[in-house]
Amino acid sequence: MREVDGQVQAWAFLDADHALAQARAADEFRLSGRPVGPLHGVPIGIKDIIDTADMPTENGSALHAGRTPSRDATVVAWLRAAGAVILGKTVTTELATYAPGKTRNPHNAEHTPGGSSSGSAAAVAAGMVPLAVGSQTNGSTIRPASFCGVYGFKPTHGSIPRHRMLALSRTLDHVGLFARSIEDLALLAEQLVGWDERDPDTRPRARVPFAAVAAEEPPLPPVFAFVKTPHWEHAEAETREAFAELVEHLGDRVEELELFPSATEAWAWHRTIMEAEMAASLEREWRTGRDRLSESLRAQLERGRAVRAVDYQHALARIRPVHESFQELFEQRYDTILTPAAPGTAPKGLTSTGDPGFCTLWTLCGMPAVSLPLMHGASGLPLGVQLVGPRDGDARLLRTARWLVARVAGDPDARA
Amino acid sequence: MREVDGQVQAWAFLDADHALAQARAADEFRLSGRPVGPLHGVPIGIKDIIDTADMPTENGSALHAGRTPSRDATVVAWLRAAGAVILGKTVTTELATYAPGKTRNPHNAEHTPGGSSSGSAAAVAAGMVPLAVGSQTNGSTIRPASFCGVYGFKPTHGSIPRHRMLALSRTLDHVGLFARSIEDLALLAEQLVGWDERDPDTRPRARVPFAAVAAEEPPLPPVFAFVKTPHWEHAEAETREAFAELVEHLGDRVEELELFPSATEAWAWHRTIMEAEMAASLEREWRTGRDRLSESLRAQLERGRAVRAVDYQHALARIRPVHESFQELFEQRYDTILTPAAPGTAPKGLTSTGDPGFCTLWTLCGMPAVSLPLMHGASGLPLGVQLVGPRDGDARLLRTARWLVARVAGDPDARA
C-alpha cells in the first residue's frame, strides 16, 4: 500500500498495523460464525474532514494539525456497524475548499486528482480501497471522480447525516461516495442513507433498498435530457465532441434541453450562500488563525463576511422555485439529466483542483448526481458523464446509470 | 355590532350583509340534516394580514390599500371547512409591526389594545366574536390578549400553516388565537394545527385531540417554574405584586428559576433575526413605497438591510441550544413556565401598542405560550399571566392552564 501510495499520496493518515488489526478482528469475527454486516471486512477510505475516534482528523488545515476527535462521525459509526474496516484518512484540500493537498492523479502524476475529496477519489482509482467517502459543497465529489476515472455519487441533500463532519455550509454540504462500480455505490449508499436527528436536514424515512433497485432493469428505456447549462462555454473541445457522440449514440433516448432562464443565475446564488455560510462556519478559524489560511480561502471568507443578510436570504429563497421547475421536468418527461461532470479531463498541474462549475446547479438544488467514467480525452485521461435525478430519486438514478453504462459498454464506438 | 364597534374600532372590514348571508346559509345547511363541522355557524374575526377570498386584505398598510386576494389562506379555508362564519377582518398595526391601527382598548378607550393583533383581541374582549385569529412574531398575540383581558394562545412554531398570510419572518412568524375560555382556544386550535406543504415549517403529524386533552384533569398537580427573565426590570410595581401573590398562592407548586446566562442574549438574537428577515420579506414595499411606511418601520427595515449574513446566521444558530436547555428543564422537573404576559396593564395612549419584551424569548424558541386573564391592575385594567410549555406540548399546556384558572378562580384572594 505504501509503495502504491508513494506516487499518488492519497492518504492523510494511514496506520498499516491498525488497519491490519481491524482486518484480523473482522476475520476472527467471521470465523466465529456470528452474523456479519454487508460490508464485513471491506476496507474504506474516509476523507479527513470526517471524524474518526481512532485516527486524527485534521481537515487539511495547519490550524487543525494534531486534532484527534474522541468520537466517530455518524457515517463512520454506521460503516463500522456494517462491518467495514476504516483503512485510513484520505487527503482533502484545505478545509474542503480550493487550496490543494498533496494528492496526485493516479493516471498521470503531473495532473490534479480534482478536489476537495482528492484522496478519496485517487485511493479508489489507484485500487488501494474499493470504497471511499468524501463530501461535496460545490463539485468536490463529482469532479474528482471524473478526473480520476471512478464512479462518484452525491446523494440527495439531507439523505446522509453530516454529524461530526467539518461543516462549511448547511445548505450545500453533502456526503459523497466513491467506488469502482454502480453496484458498489449502491451497497455503500444503502448503509449510509438514514436519519440522524443531530443533522437537522435528515428526516425519518422508509429504508431505501439501493442495491436491489440499482440492480433492476428499468421498466422502460430511460429518457435523458441533455442539459449544457451556461457553463458549457467552459467545456473543452474534446468534451463537446465526446458528448456529441454520446448523444448521437443514445438516439431517441435523449433530447437536448435549454435551461430555463431563472436557473442561469444559480451560480451567483450558490456563491452567495456558500461564501456567507462558510464565513459563519469558519468564524473561529478566521478569528484565531486567518494568517495561516491560504490566500484564496482568506479572500473567500472576506467576501462571505461582507454578504448582507437580505442577499443571503434572497439566494436561499431561489432554491425552491428552481428545484420545483426541475421537478416538473422529471414528472412530465425525463428520467435523468445528462451533463458533463467537468469541463474536460484533469488539468495539468497541482496548484489547482479544477473547475467545479458543472456541479454547482445540482448541488444548489440538492439533487442526486453521479459521475460515470465512460469517456476518455485525447490524452487518455478519464472524462466523466454526469447524470442528475430528482431529489429522493437516488436509487432510480443508480438504476438509470447502470442502464447507461451497459448501453455504452455494449457499443465500444460510443466511447469517445 | 356597528354600535358596539363604534368605540372599539376592531374591524378593518366588516360587511354585515355578507356575514348575515353566511350565517343564514349555515342555518339552512344545518336544517338540511347534513353533518356539520365543529365550528358550524360560529362567527370568527380574522386579522387583516390573513388572506380571504371574499374580503379585502390590506395588511394595515396604505401600500396594500384595496388589495383583494382571490384565494383563502390555509387557516381561513380550514375554518370554513369546520363550518365557521368569517365575520370580518380585524385591525392590524402597520404590516403587523409597531405603528398602531385605529383600535382602542374595550376596557378603556384611552388605552392601547396592544398589537399587532389589536382588532382580534379587542373584538373578542368586546364580545363581538367568540373567536379570532391573529399572529405573533414577537409579542403580537400574548400582549394584546393580556391588555384586553382575553385568552390568547400562540401554538408551537410550525404547527399552524402560514400559507397566504403576510410573511415577516419565517423563523419567528406564528399564527395566534384568541378566545374567551381555554375550552374555546382548544376547539379552535384543533381545527388549525396541521400540515400544509406550502408552509415548509409545518410537518405531517398525528392529529392532536386538543379539546379532549385540555379538558382532562392533570394526572398530578403541575409544577411551575416562575421565570422573571432580564425583562423583569421593566415590570411595573403592580405586576411584581400580583406575581408575588400568585407565587405565594401556588405554594410548593411553583419554584423561581434563574434564567441560564446564554438565554439572556435572546432579545438581541431575536432582533437580528426579525429585522433581517423583515428586510428581505418587505423588500418590495421598501423598493416601491418606503416613503409611505411609518418612520419606525422604515428605521427597522434600514437596520435589517444592514445586518450581515454572518451575524444573522449566528443568531439563528443560537435558537437550538437555548431551546434544548429549556427542553431539559421540562423533561427533568417543570410542567410549565410561569411569567408575565406584559410589563403591566395596557398603557395609556394610542400612539404605541406597548412592550412585547416578555414574549420575545418564547417566540424565538418557538415554544407554545398562552395568556390567561387572571389578574387586574389598580386601574381595573386586565393583566395576563403567561404560561409557556415545551414545543409540541400545546395540548398539555392548555390542560395546565385550565388547572391554573380553576385554582385561581377557586380562591378569589389569589387575584391581585
Residue A75 to residue A160: CA distance in whole angstroms = 8
A279 and B305 within 8 Å at the Cβ level: the answer is: no
State chain B's maximal CA–CA distance in angstroms. 61
Residue A363 to residue B174: CA distance in whole angstroms = 31
- The one-digit pLDDT tens for each residue of chain A (416 residues) are 556 678 999 999 999 899 899 889 988 999 998 889 999 999 999 999 999 999 999 999 999 999 999 999 999 999 999 999 999 999 999 999 999 999 999 999 999 999 999 999 999 999 999 999 999 999 999 999 999 999 999 999 999 999 999 999 999 999 999 999 999 999 999 999 999 999 999 999 889 999 999 999 999 999 999 999 999 999 999 999 999 999 999 999 999 999 988 888 999 999 999 999 999 999 999 999 999 999 999 999 999 999 999 999 999 999 999 999 999 999 999 999 999 999 999 999 999 999 999 999 999 999 999 999 999 999 999 999 999 999 999 999 999 999 999 999 876 544 43
- Inter-CA distances, A162 with A175, A193, A359, Å: 7, 11, 20
pLDDT of residue B4: 65
Q: Which three cell numbers stand for residue A318?
A: 431561489
Residue B105 Rama label (left phi>0; alpha psi -120 to 50; beta): beta
Residue B119 to residue B126: CA distance in whole angstroms = 10
**Can B140 be counted among the known catalytic residues?**
yes
Q: Is A216 on the interface with B (CB under 8 A)?
A: no
**Can A140 be counted among the known catalytic residues?**
yes
- CA A135 to chain centroid, in Å, comes to 5
Residue B412 has what DSSP assignment?
G
Place of cell 462500480: A181
Q: Which of B310, B312, B320 has its CB closest to that of A283?
A: B310
Query: Is A352 in contact with A399 (CB distance < 8 Å)?
Result: no
Residue A54 has what DSSP assignment?
T
**Residues A176, A179, A185, A188, CA torsion sign:** negative
Cβ-based contacts of A307 with chain B (< 8 Å): 308-310
Cβ-based contacts of A317 with chain B (< 8 Å): 280
**Can A120 be counted among the known catalytic residues?**
no
Cβ-based contacts of A304 with chain B (< 8 Å): 309-310
Question: B11: closest CA among B35, B47, B38, B64?
Answer: B47
Residues sharing a CB contact under 8 Å with residue B87, sequence separation 6 or more, in sequence order: B14, B19, B43, B44, B45, B128, B129
- N-term to C-term CA, chain B: 32
Look at residue B44 and give its three-state secondary structure. strand
A309 and B283 within 8 Å at the Cβ level: the answer is: no
ipTM over 0.85: yes
Catalytic one among A135, A140, A146, A371?
A140
Residue A334 to residue A312: CA distance in whole angstroms = 32
Q: Which three cell numbers stand for residue A249?
A: 449514440
Rg of chain A (C-alpha set): 20
CA atoms within 13 A on the CB side of B21: 7
Residues sharing a CB contact under 8 Å with residue B376, sequence separation 6 or more, in sequence order: B345, B382, B383, B415, B416
B309 and A314 within 8 Å at the Cβ level: the answer is: no
Average the pLDDT over each of A341-350, B160-169, B407-416 and give the range with the smallest value. B407-416
| Residue B36 identity (one-letter amino acid) | V
Query: Is B175 in contact with B135 (CB distance < 8 Å)?
Result: yes
Q: Is B243 on the interface with A (CB under 8 A)?
A: no
Q: Is A276 on the interface with B (CB under 8 A)?
A: yes
Q: Select the residue from B173, B201, B283, B308 to test the A interface by mutation, using most A Cβ atoms within 10 A.
A: B308
| Residue B72 identity (one-letter amino acid) | D
Shortest alpha-carbon distance between residue B61 and chain A (Å) = 22
Q: Is B280 on the interface with A (CB under 8 A)?
A: yes
**Confidence (pTM):** 0.92
B1: which strand partners? Answer: none
Residues sharing a CB contact under 8 Å with residue A118, sequence separation 6 or more, in sequence order: A10, A90, A91, A92, A93, A100, A101, A103, A112, A144, A353
Q: Is B329 on the interface with A (CB under 8 A)?
A: no
Residues sharing a CB contact under 8 Å with residue A39, sequence separation 6 or more, in sequence order: A79, A82, A83, A84, A131, A187, A188, A191
Q: Is B324 on the interface with A (CB under 8 A)?
A: no
Q: Which three cell numbers stand for residue B386?
A: 403567561
Q: Which of A308, A317, A320 has its CB closest to that of B309?
A: A308
Give yes or no for residue B416 having a pLDDT over 80.
no
Domains and CATH numbers, chain B: 11-261+317-414 (3.90.1300.10)
Residue A200 to residue A205: CA distance in whole angstroms = 14
DSSP string, B127-141: TS-SEEEEEESSSTT
What is the mean pLDDT of the segment spanning B248-257? 96
Query: Is B404 in contact with B380 (CB distance < 8 Å)?
Result: no
Q: Is B279 on the interface with A (CB under 8 A)?
A: yes
Residue A129 to residue A116: CA distance in whole angstroms = 18
A310 and B304 within 8 Å at the Cβ level: the answer is: yes
Q: Select the residue from B277, B313, B391 to test the A interface by mutation, using most A Cβ atoms within 10 A.
A: B313
B304 and A308 within 8 Å at the Cβ level: the answer is: no
Q: What is the mean pLDDT of chain B?
A: 95
- Inter-CA distances, A3 with A14, A126, A287, Å: 13, 11, 40
**Residues B264, B268, B271, B273, CA torsion sign:** negative
Residues sharing a CB contact under 8 Å with residue A32, sequence separation 6 or more, in sequence order: none
B20 φ/ψ angles, rounded to the nearest 5 degrees: -65, -40
Cβ-based contacts of B317 with chain A (< 8 Å): 280
Residue A237 to residue B372: CA distance in whole angstroms = 73
- Inter-CA distances, A145 with A66, A179, A405, Å: 28, 9, 15
Taking a contact as any Cβ pair under 8 Å apart, which residues of chain B between 188 and 207 contact chain A? 200
Cβ-based contacts of A163 with chain B (< 8 Å): none
Q: Is B317 on the interface with A (CB under 8 A)?
A: yes
Catalytic one among B47, B117, B135, B371?
B47
Percentages helix, strand, coil for chain B (3-state, rounded to 5) are: 45, 15, 40
DSSP string, A318-330: HHHHHHHHHHHHH
Give yes or no for residue B316 having a pLDDT over 90.
yes
B280 and A308 within 8 Å at the Cβ level: the answer is: no
Taking a contact as any Cβ pair under 8 Å apart, which residues of chain B between 357 and 396 contact chain A? none
Q: Is B307 on the interface with A (CB under 8 A)?
A: yes
Catalytic one among A116, A117, A135, A146?
A116
B279 and A307 within 8 Å at the Cβ level: the answer is: no
Cβ-based contacts of B306 with chain A (< 8 Å): 308
A131: which strand partners? Answer: A44, A179
